[in-house]
Amino acid sequence: MAGNSFGNLLKLSTFGESHGEAIGGILDGFPAGLELDLDFVQQQLDRRKPGQSRISSQRKESDTLQILSGIFEGKSTGMPIGFIIPNADAKSKDYNHIKDKFRPSHADRTYAEKYGHRDYRGGGRSSARETAVRVAAGALAMQILPQVKIRAYVSSVGPIDLDHDLSLDYSKIDQHITRCPHPETAALMEQAIVEARKQGDSLGGIITCRVEGLDVGLGEPVFNKLPAELAKAMMSINAVKGFEIGEGFAAARMKGSEHNDTYGEDGKRRSNHAGGVEGGISTGEDLVFRTAFKPVATIMSDQQGLNTEGEMVTVAGKGRHDPCVVPRAVPIVEAMTALVLADYFLLNRSSRI
């Protein structure tokens, strides 16, 4: 099946299903000789794993990384880095009720129609469980670019938006279970998620990502522009419905005189409305983009669905699910960002004598 690999020189291929023995990946094209901090990789996995708090899925997974190849005596060998993450707490019986039913707004029906057969246990390959592999690979990719700081945080949950005129302390991103760096806004977000869960419903939200220390010149004309690859990376994440960079859609309502990043006498840009890219190539300014997530499709309320015979049926809300995926998606956004940037860094290096 095509579509399970991402990247150019640095290529990640993932495998596994939500309720299989394990999920895993092969990260090929990784440079040789890098000292790798595998404790950091595990820390990133711990940020994504379920069961973290009262606003996440209560599935209990240690998400313990097992390296199979490509790393020896703490260094990358230049060979493909193979790894797995065992599934330890899959409860497949929780999904028996949808064996012959299609849940609204899930991949159930499209997978069945495309392949003629589907793994209904936890959504199988379409489950966000697969993103743990991306987080591990992204944490390795971050170590190719140690000077680059990638910080993502929750800037919106449902109707609650973070005021970006506030002074934000990025060190506080992980201090609250919502991963919003402003304590008062974070408390409101948590309250909204808890209330949605009580009502048997779910919420969506927005993650903002800011990258500092990026080199000038990352991005390949014309189809592989940096924001195009970032958009592809973000849109490949489960539940993502939107991507914008810099001013994004707001730019459509601005005048050129308002949006242009003019220069000062020191040769530096006086603003960053473009979000750190011009002509699809990084400018050296902070890279800033936002990713929008829809409300979780599985809700703890009965919904009208369809069965495999084409008949209308009631689909009951069962199982262990996040009422809002956005807090746990923060390390996923960071990981996919790292994979893109490390890949483009290697592309730049390979094109120069």
At 125, the pLDDT band (50, 70, 90 cuts) reads confident
* Residue 66 located in a structural domain: yes
* Residue 216 located in a structural domain: yes
Asked if 201 contacts 301 with a C-beta cutoff of 8 angstroms, the reply is yes
Asked if 260 contacts 278 with a C-beta cutoff of 8 angstroms, the reply is no
pLDDT tens per residue, range 296-319: 988 888 888 888 888 999 887 776
* Residue 351 located in a structural domain: no
CATH code (residue 90) = 3.60.150.10
* Model pLDDT, residue 350: 86
* Residue 81 located in a structural domain: yes
* Residue 345 located in a structural domain: no
Q: Both tokens of residue 64?
A: 């313990």
* Residue 344 located in a structural domain: no
Higher pLDDT, 128 or 273: 273
* Model pLDDT, residue 92: 62
* Residue 348 located in a structural domain: no
Instruction: Evaluate if residue 253 carries a pLDDT over 90.
Output: yes
At 121, the pLDDT band (50, 70, 90 cuts) reads confident
Average pLDDT value for residue range 256-274: 97
Domain limits for position 110? 5-339
Domains: count for the chain: 1
* Model pLDDT, residue 97: 77
Buried b (16+ CB within 10 A) or exposed e, 112-145: eeeeeebbbbbbbbbbbbbbbbbbbbbbbbbbbb
pLDDT tens per residue, range 1-10: 579 999 999 9
Average pLDDT value for residue range 35-47: 97
Average pLDDT of the chain is 92
pLDDT tens per residue, range 313-336: 988 777 677 899 999 999 999 999
Looking at 106-110, 205-209, 339-343, which range is the least confident one? Answer: 106-110
With a CB cutoff of 8 Å and minimum separation 6, the contacts of 270 are 261, 262, 263, 264
At 232, the pLDDT band (50, 70, 90 cuts) reads very high
Q: Both tokens of residue 340?
A: 């893109």
* Residue 347 located in a structural domain: no
